[in-house]
Amino acid sequence: MEYTHEGQEYVLNLIDTPGHVDFSYEVSRSIAACEGALLVVDAAQSIQAQTISNLYLALENDLEIIPVLNKVDLPSANPEEVTDDIVDLLGCKPEEIIRASAKTGLGIEAILQAIVDHVPPPKGDVNAPLQALIFDSVYNPFRGVETYFRVFSGKISKGQDIKFLATQKKYSADEVGTLNLTQTPKKYIGAGDVGYLITGIKNAKEVKVGDTIIDVDSTEIIGVSGFEDVKPMVFAGIYPVDTEDYEELRSSMDKLQLNDASLVYTPESSSALGFGFRCGFLGMLHLEIIQERLEREFNMSVITTVPNVSYNAYVNKDPSAKILVNNPSDLPDPSSLNRVEEPYIDATIITKSEFVGNVLTLCIEKRGEIKNQRYLTTERVELNFRLPLAEIVFDFYDRLKSVSKGYASLDYTPAGFVASKLVRLDILLNGKPVDALSSLIHADNAQRMGRKLCEKLKELIPRQQFDIPVQAAIGAKIISRETIKAFRKDVTAKLYGGDVTRKRKLLEKQKKGKKKMRMVGSVEIPQQAFMAVLKIND
C-alpha cells in the first residue's frame, strides 16, 4: 500500500500470518521477509500461547515490535489489565501501546504512523546479484502458480531467466509485479520490494516456501537461511464412501495439492474400506480443513480413519536401521521388534490460575510430565509440559478448552523421539481384523482403550441376523470382547402342542443356519465407528 506521512510518500508491504500452531513454519518464513511486526493483542482475551511463540520468532529475527491493543470497543474488553500484561511481556512503556479497534477505525492512523517512524527501511543493493525469498504461493487455475517473494538484493525483470535454489529448476519470469488491491505488473522488482512472479508453473510442489530465487547463471549465491521441507506430523487414511469414486477422489486430491503443497498422500488399500489414500497433515486442524474442502469444493463424501503420528521402529536383526511407521499395519512383527520410538513435543499452555488443577490432571492423564510453572500475573499461569505427540492429536485441544472453559491456549514445538512401550491394538469383527481401526497405543493404556472401543462399537454397529463378536487384541492375545446380539426369529411360534423334540429340532435347524450365515456374512461398518476412537472419552 502507498501511504503519505508529513508530505512524504511511503510504500508499506504488510503481511498477515496464521496464528495456529500447525502453520508455524509459514509464520517463520513470513517473519524472515519482514523488518518489523505488529503485536496485536485482543483486549478481551489477553495474550495467547501462540502469540508468545510468534513473538519470540520475531525477536530472534531482530524485528522492530509495535504493540497494538485491539478490540478496545468491546463491552467485555479489559484494556488496563491487558496493557499491564503487554508491558510485563515486552518491557515497553504503557503509552507506547497503541489502542485500536478495526471495527470503529480507532487507532488505525496511529498504527500506520508508528510503522513509518519505528520500522527501519529495507536494506539491499539493486546492482548486486539477485537473492529473493519465497514466503507464499497461490494457485491460479488460468495462470499456474503465483509466487510471492521479497527481494533482498538485485532485481527481477520481466522475461529474465531465474532459478529456484532448493529445487534447482529454471524458469523464465513471464510477469512480475506488485500486490496492490489488484496485481499491478511492473518492468522489474528491485531490492527491498515485495512482489509476485508468474512463470507458468503448473505443480505447486515445485514452489517451496522459504526457497531462494537467484539468477540462472549465478553460482556463489547463498540461500536465505532457514529453508527446510515442511514435514507432516499427523497421518490418516482418507477413503471414498462409495468405492467407485476412487478415481474422482484422486483427481480431487491432486487439485487440492495444487493449492496446498504441505498435503502429502500416497495410495493405500484396506480390506474393510477398499482403495484410498494415506495422507500426511501438519496437524489436526489441517486434517479438518482438507476434509471440509473435499466435501465443500468437490462434493466428495469421505471416510477418515483414526489419525496417528509417525513412529520409528527398530528390529533385532539390525538395531541401527530405522523403519518409519506411518500406518499401524506397517509395524514389524512384535517377536522381531527391538524398540519403538515415538515423537515428543514441548508444549506451552497459558491459562487462568483457577484452571491449573484441571489442566495438570489432563496432561498427566495424557502421559505428560510438567517441566515448569510460571505465573505471568496473579491471574495467568504459563505451564510447560513434555508430552507424546500421539496423545494430543486426537481430542486434546477440545478437552483443554472444555476443562478451562475456553481460557487455555496451547503452543508446541517438536522435541525429538523417545523409546516407548508401544503395542498395536487390533479390532476384530466376527473374527476378522479391521485394519482401518488399528492403532498404536502405549501398553499401559491398551486394556482400557480396548474395552472402551469394544463398548463404543457395540453401540454403533447395527445388529445382523447372526451374533457378531467385537474383540480387541494385542497380537494373538484377546484383551476385551463384546457381542452384538442377533435378531432372533421365533421359529417355534407355529407349534401348537406335540412333543418337545419337535421344538428342539426347529431350534437346532435355526442354530445351524445362523452358524452358516456367520461364516459367510460380512459386517457393514458405519462411518461413525471410525470416528468413535476420537470421541472415546465422551
What is the reported pLDDT for 392?
78
Residue ranges with strand state E in 180-216: 183-186, 188-190, 194-198, 212-215
What is the reported pLDDT for 156?
87
Q: What is the pLDDT of residues 494-510, one digit of tens each?
A: 777 777 787 888 888 87
CB 337 within 8 A of CB 390: no
Residue with the larger pLDDT of the pair 54 and 272? 54
pLDDT mean over 97-103? 86
Q: What is the pLDDT of residues 419-455, one digit of tens each?
A: 888 888 888 887 888 777 777 888 888 888 888 888 8
What is the reported pLDDT for 259?
66
pLDDT mean over 367-378? 83
What is the reported pLDDT for 533?
61
* pLDDT at position 376 over 80: no
* pLDDT at position 302 over 80: yes
What is the reported pLDDT for 400?
81
Residue carrying the nine cell digits 457378531: 468
Query: Which of 106, 194, 181, 119 is closest to 155 using CA atoms?
Result: 194
Residue 406 CA: distances (Å) to CA of 355, 387, 401, 536: 10, 21, 4, 21
Q: How confident is the model at residue 524 (pLDDT cuts 50, 70, 90)?
A: low
What is the reported pLDDT for 21?
67
What is the reported pLDDT for 491?
67
What is the reported pLDDT for 391?
80
Residues 290, 392: Cα–Cα separation, whole Å:
19
> Chain-wide mean pLDDT for the chain?
81
Rounded percentage of the chain residues whose pLDDT exceeds 90: 0
* pLDDT at position 522 over 70: no
Longest Cα pair distance anywhere in the chain, in angstroms? 111
What is the reported pLDDT for 332?
79
* pLDDT at position 157 over 80: yes
Burial grade of 98 (CB within 10 A; 0-12, 13-18, 19 or more): buried
What is the reported pLDDT for 8?
87
What is the reported pLDDT for 73?
85
* pLDDT at position 226 over 80: no
CB 176 within 8 A of CB 158: yes
CB 308 within 8 A of CB 388: no
Q: What is the pLDDT of residues 23-42, one digit of tens each?
A: 777 777 788 888 888 888 88
* pLDDT at position 229 over 70: no
* pLDDT at position 529 over 70: no
pLDDT mean over 148-156? 87
CB-based contacts of 281, cutoff 8 Å, min separation 6? 22, 232, 233, 234, 235, 236, 262, 263, 287, 290, 307
Residue with the larger pLDDT of the pair 407 and 446? 446
What is the reported pLDDT for 536?
58
pLDDT mean over 251-259? 79
* pLDDT at position 404 over 60: yes
Residues 131, 350: Cα–Cα separation, whole Å:
39
Sign of the dihedral defined by the CA atoms of residues 274, 275, 280, 286, in that order:
negative
* Residue-wise burial string across 219-246, b where 16 or more C-beta atoms lie within 10 A, e elsewhere: eebebbeebeebebbbbbbbbbeeeebb
Q: How confident is the model at residue 482 (pLDDT cuts 50, 70, 90)?
A: confident
Residues 49, 67: Cα–Cα separation, whole Å:
16
Residue with the larger pLDDT of the pair 436 and 97? 97
* pLDDT at position 262 over 60: yes
What is the reported pLDDT for 227?
63
SS3 317: coil
